[in-house]
Amino acid sequence: MTLQRAWKIALVATAAALFTQTAVAQPHCPTAALRAYAHNDYNNTHPLYDAVAFGYRGVEADVYLVDGVLRVAHDRKSATGAPALDTLYLIPIRDLLARCGPTIVAGAMQPFLLNLEIKEASNETLQVLLTSLSSVADLMRSSTGQALEARLIVTLVGYAGTDRPPHLVTFPGVACKANTPARLVHCVNTPGTAMVSVDYGKTQGRWWTLDAERVRWLAALRAAQAASPNLMIRVFNVPSHRETYLELLHAGVDLIGTKDLAGTAALLATKGR
């Protein structure tokens, strides 16, 4: 290991430690300025609150329907007895936005982001979720994109059903998964797409991926951003490398998904916001 690389690692580790020590001590209404969100946020020590304290723009959670209740967990087995979606996110988000309003997100009053993944192809789960979201309907953007004093955007990043009832103005947006550059183009050109979702580790991040393929991915991301600048692009399962983050952000990625809140916050803070 070179001295320069050792110095960089030590710097990031120190910054991450400082972030960890001070995150919960930040003001009750911090500014969510990082171009990132907390992936699998429910695994953090303080779901939602840690992400907001570190400055993340949103959170992502997986949901299962257990005996009529939406539970937040990574798999069906651990969903039994897991916290309810209302308790862990919907009620706290309402309280947070009531106290802080749009000030927790920097720039142009951008809404806070809640990405929800229904892990099973279950219409019953979807219907229960839609009913649950009625409790935050006044915070959400309408399905046509018109502002309802939008302070919260909910996007389905997993199962979303086949029919999207037009009369449900609070119906959450739906993400389109892109696993190839060609699929990315398809997502951008698909009407109704609210977000493009890319798993870095299963696409351009594979160790055997040729440099030429990575170049094609970056070009496709730039083209997607240019063609539809208001369409949000998220990339998750990204290694905690500053250079990789910069490359993706410069290519037009809006949000980097991370499970390492302290480390990613430290890396993004060093590049400025």
Q: 10-53: per-residue pLDDT in tens?
A: 444 444 444 444 444 444 676 778 999 999 999 999 999 999 99
Instruction: Give the dihedral sign, CA 61/250/50/20.
Output: positive
- The answer to whether the CB of 31 falls within 8 A of the CB of 104 is yes
pLDDT for 151-202, tens place per residue?
888 999 999 987 665 545 446 889 999 999 999 999 999 888 899 999 999 9
The confidence score (pLDDT) of residue 209 equals: 86
88-117: average pLDDT: 79
Q: What is the CATH number of the domain that holds 35?
A: 3.20.20.190
Owning domain of residue 37: 3-270
Q: How many structural domains are present in the chain? A: 1
What is the percent of the chain where pLDDT is above 90? 61
pTM of the model: 0.84
Mean pLDDT rounded to a whole number for the chain: 83
Residues with Cβ within 8 Å of residue 98, at least 6 apart in sequence: none
- The answer to whether the CB of 103 falls within 8 A of the CB of 31 is yes
227-246: average pLDDT: 94
The confidence score (pLDDT) of residue 118 equals: 97
